Amino acid sequence: MGSVVFREKVRRPEPSGLSRDRLERPLLDESGPSVCLLLAPAGSGKTTLLGQVAATPLRPTAWYRARPEDRSEDALVQHVTEALSVVLPNTLAPSTTVDQLIVATESGVPSPAQLIVDDVHELAGSPAEAALERFLEFRPRHLRLLLGSRRPLALNTPRLIVSGDLLELDTDDLRFRSWEVEELFRSVYRQPLSPEAAAALTRRTGGWAAGLQLFHLATMGKSSTERIRAATELGGRSRLVRAYLTRNVLAGLAPERRNFLLITSALGRLTGPLCDELLEQTGSSAVLEELETLQFFTTSTDDGSTYRYHQVLQTHLEGLLIDELGAAASREIHSRSGHLLEKAGHPREAMRAHALADDWASVARLLQQGNTVAHDWVARSGLPDDDPWLALARARRLFRSGAVDAAVAAYRDAEALLDDPEFQARCADERAQVEVWMTQPPAQATPVRRTGQVIRQATKRLPGLGPGPQAAPGDPLAAGTIALLGGRFDLARECLTPVAADPAMRQAGRLWAAIAVVVTDLAVGNWAHAEMPLEEIALSAELEELPWLARIARGLQAAVLLATRPEDWRPDGCAALVDECTRDGDRWGSLLMAIFIGTAQLKAGQDRAAVEWLRRAATAAENLEARALQAWAFTLGAVAMARLRHPNTAVQLRGAEALIRSAAVTGAYRLLDHARQLADEGNSTNDVAAAVPPSAVPERSGCVLRTLGGFEVVLNGKPVAWPPLRPRARALLLLLAIHQGKDLHRERLIDALWPDAPADAGPHRLQVAASNVRQSLAAVGLGDQAVQRNGDAYRLVLPGTWIDLTEFETRLRRARRSGTLADWSGVLDLYVGELLPEVGAAEWVLAERDRYRLAAADAAVQVAGLATDAQALRAAHRAVDLDPLRDSSWLLLADLQEAQGDPTAAAATRREHARICVELAAPVSPRVRPVRDGSRVQA
């Protein structure tokens, strides 16, 4: 007898929830794997995502939701047949075995089509699962297969992933990011949350979709203030969360597994040996591995050495421990856990366990034993203030939150609580590190950590141009931060990228370096998807209890989204973050966020808003005596005012130049030149063309292709919004773009983009990528013949297109013939940034990138030799920035500084040049001045 097919099982659900492009895009990619597996625990949003994909009208989509009664091969075959028949033009031939079904789909399923099977875990270990595996392997490839499961399948998924046949999205992929939580509550639930509240809710729920939905249900009808408070207090003790976890997660567990989860939750940090000791048994490592494999809200970040329970489950288990065993037994288990964690060398987790055991003497002892930072809940607890070690923990917490003045006062209070010279010296030493960041720091009786002192001094005036501490050669964190403040973004990235990846570096330094690397990307125009690394940085900072760094990452992330995904509500969200800083006494955070928001508004073309935010930033920087940051705020503000044709633009420009000179922020001169050109030419446009000097923008061209400073295509005055492209296909587009109109042999393209591909696979991958690029170009209106094939070569052909590289070469040839200031300035104006900064150090771009950079450096030297006064000095600065290894540029810059009455700056330039020569073991150039004859400079 055949299985009964209920139509409800094959009915496609209506799309709901927040559409998340970062998840939908890979599932809809025509050139991607033909099998996609969503593998995550209950409530992770698998069905919602699959429902959204199913509603996309790209191809016919069949839907089947597996149930426990469908475990036979016949049941699977009948349901898949019915599901496909619902969406196909013709009913699929009936089948009783999976082999018959495969044959039927070969002739009865048109191309393209897709089948979604949800809740596949219901078939685990059954004939239906084996039949599904066979169907997956032998089905026609034009039938895509999307699977949703809570448990791993009996498939050779590693082989399928390596072969490119399977895309797997797991729990981490599906978890909501903080900006998605904010958008979910504004756009879907219509209950707005501030960015800080959204971040707190994300942290509390771990981005778990069901947790967010339950929070929404629990707070319906509450005021905005009540929702924000609930977001910061949400945990596993919520009635709705407890009910969901009990019914959907813990129900059906064997008693021994449930007891394992309950008792080991007291540890927080789970390892096999620790669990064995706490439970007084063996075999815990295998249990932990099984829990992770089964996607049971258990994760490991170090390949199975250490595990953690999901935050919501952890909180729920801690509550159950008290409810089921009683408060006394719970305290005893937490006390044992604390001592075990101490012995294993995990003081932070031990401190938490002792606190939950109400053993505050052990908490204070751990603080006293080392420089351990207390957990947030310890530092903010309502404990008496007369314990010196807990008072010290609160002072540390205030500093890590950015409240500098309050932290200094708290350190003094802690120091007065214990008449012990060693404790008082520790308080004084830590207080000295904090006082560096005050507006008027007191004279330092205690030596301060060099990195902090150097960076703080650099915010006032960059080193090398006057007295003050210098960055030590072995301090890349300080050197990179100084380079960033000075606008030397390539150098900053070079210094800070290794720091961000160095496990030996203190976590605060690593995270600051990671934030700064993102800033260098933004500074060269690479804003796309910058919110993703910032989310990871913020989460890491929260986990390490570094709230100021988490706040800065969140603020920069909000600014990126303000510029790249404009919504009416985003400016208010950004303003709320600044208000949070003001409320908490975080003056440095408020300053940085004002700069972030002002720059984002400038990027988005919202010049009036940009002027207001950058004016606010400049005032905050002045109050903090941070002239380097004030110079950047003034200069960015000058760009916005020039684009608005503001009557006070000239005053702003003079103020910006004075600050640049005062703080020695030489990298800002290029931006200042751009602002001057906008002001001189009355350019008031707010479109993307205003991001580069107007002389670089074609007057009459329907299509514009730029690769200097970042890839961009402008069509009829509007930047092109590209359809999704896989990374290699996009790289192919960029490679063809920098050789527009030229044939590139396929072997060259394969070697550049698929160097490790088998000989027979490379041509096919190139052909597929070229087809994807061709389709994307056609989709944006550039025609279906833009990518042309000539034998074994490919070329990009865009007739009538203005191309910056072509224009650069034309201007360069003209300048070399004429030697005039106007022509050389035209070359320099066009070089708005390095070639394709977004591809990083890809080998295929390096040679061309250096060629254009050095040509621009030549132009800068020529302009410096031919121009006068400020223009000559700015060009010389730019020549040094573009090619710091050219002796003549340094000598010319020093001569110009001296000639314009700034001998101190000239001496500093010569010292910096000598330092570079020492580092390179090269002889310092003799004091031969570059020839400046008024017409040509012999560079």
**CA 334 to centroid of chain Cα atoms:** 37
At 695, the pLDDT band (50, 70, 90 cuts) reads: very low
Sheet with 744-745: list strands edge to edge: 744-745, 793-796, 787-790
Helix axes 727-737, 762-779, angle to 10 degrees: 80
Given a contact cutoff of 8 angstroms between Cβ atoms, the answer to whether 746 and 692 are in contact is no
E strands present in 717-783: 718-719, 744-745
Radius of gyration of the chain (CA): 31
Which 3 state secondary structure label does DSSP give 168? strand
pLDDT over threshold 80, residue 936: no
Which residues lie closer than 8 Å to 751 by C-beta, 6 or more apart? Answer: none
**CA 528 to centroid of chain Cα atoms:** 10
Choice among 13-27, 396-410, 722-736 with the minimum mean pLDDT: 722-736
pLDDT over threshold 70, residue 50: yes
How many CB atoms within 10 Å of residue 726?
17
pLDDT over threshold 60, residue 938: no
Given a contact cutoff of 8 angstroms between Cβ atoms, the answer to whether 149 and 120 are in contact is yes
**Amino acid, res. 884:** P
At 922, the pLDDT band (50, 70, 90 cuts) reads: low
Two structure tokens written together for 109: 């399923």
Which residues lie closer than 8 Å to 73 by C-beta, 6 or more apart? Answer: 97, 98, 127, 128, 130, 131
Residue at a domain's end among 191, 219, 234:
234
pLDDT over threshold 80, residue 497: yes
CATH code: domain of residue 37: 3.40.50.300
Same domain? 602 vs 714: no
Looking at the DSSP bridge assignments, the partners of residue 37 are 147, 168
Same domain? 561 vs 675: yes
Domain count, the chain: 4
pLDDT over threshold 60, residue 692: no
At 141, the pLDDT band (50, 70, 90 cuts) reads: confident
Task: Give the model confidence (pLDDT) of 151-204 as tens digits.
Answer: 888 777 777 776 678 889 998 899 999 989 999 998 898 888 888 888 888 888
| 649, part of any domain | yes
Same domain? 548 vs 678: yes
| 257, part of any domain | no
Task: Give the model confidence (pLDDT) of 53-91 as tens digits.
Answer: 998 878 889 999 999 999 999 999 999 999 999 888 888
Given a contact cutoff of 8 angstroms between Cβ atoms, the answer to whether 120 and 66 are in contact is yes
pLDDT over threshold 70, residue 122: yes
User: What gap in Å lies between CA 173 and CA 162, rounded to an integer?
Assistant: 19
Task: Give the model confidence (pLDDT) of 679-688 as tens digits.
Answer: 886 644 433 3
Which residues lie closer than 8 Å to 612 by C-beta, 6 or more apart? Answer: 598
pLDDT over threshold 50, residue 930: no
Choice among 357-366, 565-574, 690-699 with the minimum mean pLDDT: 690-699
At 562, the pLDDT band (50, 70, 90 cuts) reads: very high
Same domain? 721 vs 796: yes
Q: CA 751, 757, 761, 766 torsion: positive or negative? A: negative
pLDDT over threshold 70, residue 443: no
Q: What pLDDT is stored for residue 559 in this prediction?
A: 95
Choice among 260-264, 351-355, 637-641 with the minimum mean pLDDT: 351-355
Same domain? 678 vs 708: no
Same domain? 155 vs 218: no
Identify the DSSP state of 744.
Answer: E
| 140, part of any domain | yes
Same domain? 601 vs 476: yes
CATH code: domain of residue 786: 1.10.10.10
Same domain? 727 vs 660: no
The tally of CA atoms less than 13 A away on the side-chain side of residue 130 is 7
Looking at the DSSP bridge assignments, the partners of residue 147 are 37, 117
| 432, part of any domain | no
Q: Following DSSP, what letter does each residue of 209-231 receive, concatenated?
A: HHHHHHHHHHHTT--HHHHHHHH
pLDDT over threshold 80, residue 469: no
| 360, part of any domain | no
Q: What Cα–Cα distance (Å) separates residue 700 from each residue in 786, 800, 805?
A: 21, 10, 17
Same domain? 81 vs 217: no
Helix axes 46-54, 21-28, angle to 10 degrees: 60
User: What gap in Å lies between CA 653 and CA 709, rounded to an integer?
Assistant: 24
Given a contact cutoff of 8 angstroms between Cβ atoms, the answer to whether 392 and 571 are in contact is no
If we measure between CA atoms, which residue out of 11, 54, 28 comes closest to residue 726?
28
Average pLDDT over residues 786-802: 85
pLDDT over threshold 70, residue 234: no
Q: What pLDDT is stored for residue 444 in this prediction?
A: 54
Q: CA 491, 497, 498, 503 torsion: positive or negative? A: positive
Same domain? 137 vs 192: no
What φ, ψ does residue 713 adopt, rounded to 5°? -125, 130
User: What gap in Å lies between CA 687 and CA 695, rounded to an integer?
Assistant: 15
**Amino acid, res. 866:** L
User: What gap in Å lies between CA 390 and CA 319, rounded to an integer?
Assistant: 26
pLDDT over threshold 70, residue 505: yes
Given a contact cutoff of 8 angstroms between Cβ atoms, the answer to whether 148 and 119 are in contact is yes
pLDDT over threshold 50, residue 465: no
At 860, the pLDDT band (50, 70, 90 cuts) reads: very high
At 232, the pLDDT band (50, 70, 90 cuts) reads: low
pLDDT over threshold 60, residue 915: yes
User: What gap in Å lies between CA 539 and CA 830, rounded to an integer?
Assistant: 40
Residue at a domain's end among 654, 686, 718:
686
Q: What Cα–Cα distance (Å) separates residue 21 from each residue in 47, 461, 718?
A: 16, 43, 22
Choice among 518-532, 643-657, 706-720 with the minimum mean pLDDT: 706-720
Containing H/E element for 82? helix 73-87
User: What gap in Å lies between CA 843 and CA 846, rounded to an integer?
Assistant: 5
Given a contact cutoff of 8 angstroms between Cβ atoms, the answer to whether 318 and 310 are in contact is no
At 447, the pLDDT band (50, 70, 90 cuts) reads: very low
Q: Tell me which of 5 and 450 has the higher pLDDT.
A: 5
At 784, the pLDDT band (50, 70, 90 cuts) reads: confident
User: What gap in Å lies between CA 316 and CA 205, rounded to an integer?
Assistant: 12
pLDDT over threshold 90, residue 472: no
If we measure between CA atoms, which residue out of 866, 761, 899, 882 comes closest to residue 832?
882
Residue ranges of the alpha helices (H) in 524-604? 531-543, 547-564, 570-583, 587-603
Q: Tell me which of 57 and 642 has the higher pLDDT.
A: 642
Residue at a domain's end among 190, 213, 234:
234
How many CB atoms within 10 Å of residue 188?
14
If we measure between CA atoms, which residue out of 483, 427, 482 comes closest to residue 458?
482
Same domain? 20 vs 167: yes
| 614, part of any domain | yes
User: What gap in Å lies between CA 633 and CA 620, rounded to an integer?
Assistant: 10
Given a contact cutoff of 8 angstroms between Cβ atoms, the answer to whether 5 and 95 are in contact is no
Q: What pLDDT is stored for residue 364 in this prediction?
A: 75
Q: Tell me which of 193 and 534 has the higher pLDDT.
A: 534
Q: What pLDDT is stored for residue 474 in this prediction?
A: 66
Task: Give the model confidence (pLDDT) of 283-308 as tens digits.
Answer: 999 999 888 877 788 888 777 789 98
User: What gap in Å lies between CA 667 and CA 672, rounded to an integer?
Assistant: 9
Average pLDDT over residues 633-643: 94
Q: What pLDDT is stored for residue 237 in this prediction?
A: 55
At 217, the pLDDT band (50, 70, 90 cuts) reads: confident
Q: What pLDDT is stored for residue 931 in this prediction?
A: 42
User: What gap in Å lies between CA 360 and CA 1, rounded to an integer?
Assistant: 68
| 285, part of any domain | no
Given a contact cutoff of 8 angstroms between Cβ atoms, the answer to whether 696 and 801 are in contact is no
Q: What pLDDT is stored for residue 683 in this prediction?
A: 43
Task: Give the model confidence (pLDDT) of 370-395 as tens digits.
Answer: 545 555 555 545 455 567 877 888 88
| 395, part of any domain | no
Q: What pLDDT is stored for residue 688 in this prediction?
A: 34
Same domain? 139 vs 183: no
| pTM exceeds cut of 0.85 | no
CATH code: domain of residue 510: 1.25.40.10
At 851, the pLDDT band (50, 70, 90 cuts) reads: very high
- Mean pLDDT over the full length of the chain: 84
What φ, ψ does residue 115 adopt, rounded to 5°? -120, 130
User: What gap in Å lies between CA 232 and CA 227, rounded to an integer?
Assistant: 9
Full domain range(s) for residue 212: 178-234
Q: Tell me which of 697 and 474 has the higher pLDDT.
A: 474
Given a contact cutoff of 8 angstroms between Cβ atoms, the answer to whether 598 and 572 are in contact is no
